[in-house]
């Protein structure tokens, strides 16, 4: 019975969040519609065109992120499980989020000391690490460096993501991953919910250390596969 109740509770949260997600996705759509209308006017100056298009793309990306976070939250299972090379995946992720970092006057530094293979779904691993990295970038209001470090700890792949942003109090850290927790104007609070659920299904761990005004470090570990051909 307890299991049944838990399932019902989860369904309720999933449907409540669906309602707020529809709202969250409508906002970027409305903004994009407005920009398209402006672009359609006669004699739009070149720099205005550039501005409208740039912001439309940003809003489209935002709508897309919200939808994929919601889908992962509603159905947090691993589908196409593969062997993933952590360093390769991180290089890809860093490439994808670098324009976002640049937009926020930030730079990403990535260093690794070990080759590590983990089991999981590529797209979910990307989503998980990308959400942590984006939060780190967003936490540095005047820009700064976001550092990513990979190493082997025991039989695990450890990924440390460190920002020099606003930081969090213990209360704020404890609210991470709970529905609707956001401190941002355009936030959803879905990002860390998804981070926690992906780490759980990949049998990983997560640790958060933070100091107000100094920054935050997320330490994520995943069990790694021992490669026999290493010997």
3 state DSSP class of 229: helix
Tokens of 134: 């984006």
Given the complex with ligand ADP, which of 131 and 147 has the nearer CB atom?
131
- Position 24 contacts ligand ADP (CB under 6 A): no
Alpha-carbon distance of 187 to 164, in angstroms, equals: 20
Figure out which of the listed residues 34, 76, 143, 187 binds ligand ADP, where binding follows CB under 6 A.
Answer: 187
Tokens of 123: 């797209």
- CB–CB of 103/139 below 8 Å? no
Q: Which does 106 bind (CB under 5 to 8 A by kind): Mg ion, ligand ADP, none?
A: none
- Position 183 contacts ligand ADP (CB under 6 A): yes
- Position 17 contacts ligand ADP (CB under 6 A): no
Helices (H), the chain: 2-39, 46-74, 86-103, 122-139, 170-175, 190-201
Range in contact with Mg ion (rule: CB under 5 A) among 42-50, 66-74, 100-108, 191-199? 191-199
Q: Which does 183 bind (CB under 5 to 8 A by kind): ligand ADP, Mg ion, none?
A: ligand ADP
Closest chain position to ligand ADP (CB): 191
Among candidates 222, 226, 7, 229, which has minimal Cα distance to 121? 222
Figure out which of the listed residues 56, 72, 106, 135 binds Mg ion, where binding follows CB under 5 A.
Answer: 135
- CB–CB of 139/163 below 8 Å? yes
Figure out which of the listed residues 191, 197, 204, 220 binds ligand ADP, where binding follows CB under 6 A.
Answer: 191
Residues interacting with Mg ion, by CB under 5 A?
135, 191
């Amino acid at each position: 019975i307890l299991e049944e109740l838990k399932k019902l509770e989860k369904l309720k949260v999933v449907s409540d969040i669906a309602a707020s997600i529809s709202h969250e996705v409508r906002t970027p759509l409305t903004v994009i519609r407005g920009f398209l209308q402006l672009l359609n006017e006669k004699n739009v100056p070149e720099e205005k065109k550039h501005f409208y298009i740039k912001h439309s793309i940003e809003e489209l990306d935002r709508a897309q992120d919200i939808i994929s976070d919601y889908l992962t939250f509603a159905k947090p299972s691993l589908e196409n499980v593969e062997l993933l090379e952590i360093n390769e995946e991180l290089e890809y992720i860093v490439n994808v989020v670098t324009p976002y970092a640049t937009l926020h006057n930030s730079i990403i530094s990535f260093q690794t000391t070990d080759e590590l293979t983990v089991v999981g779904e590529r797209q979910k691993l990307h989503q998980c690490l990308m959400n942590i990295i984006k939060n780190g970038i967003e936490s540095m209001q005047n820009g700064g460096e976001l550092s990513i470090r990979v190493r082997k700890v025991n039989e695990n792949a450890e990924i440390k993501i460190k920002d020099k942003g606003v930081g969090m109090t213990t209360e704020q850290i404890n609210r991470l991953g709970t529905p609707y927790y956001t401190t941002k104007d355009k936030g959803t609070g879905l990002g860390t919910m998804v981070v926690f659920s992906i780490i759980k299904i990949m049998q990983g761990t997560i640790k958060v250390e933070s100091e107000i005004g100094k920054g935050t470090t997320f330490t994520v570990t995943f069990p790694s596969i021992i490669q026999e051909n290493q010997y």
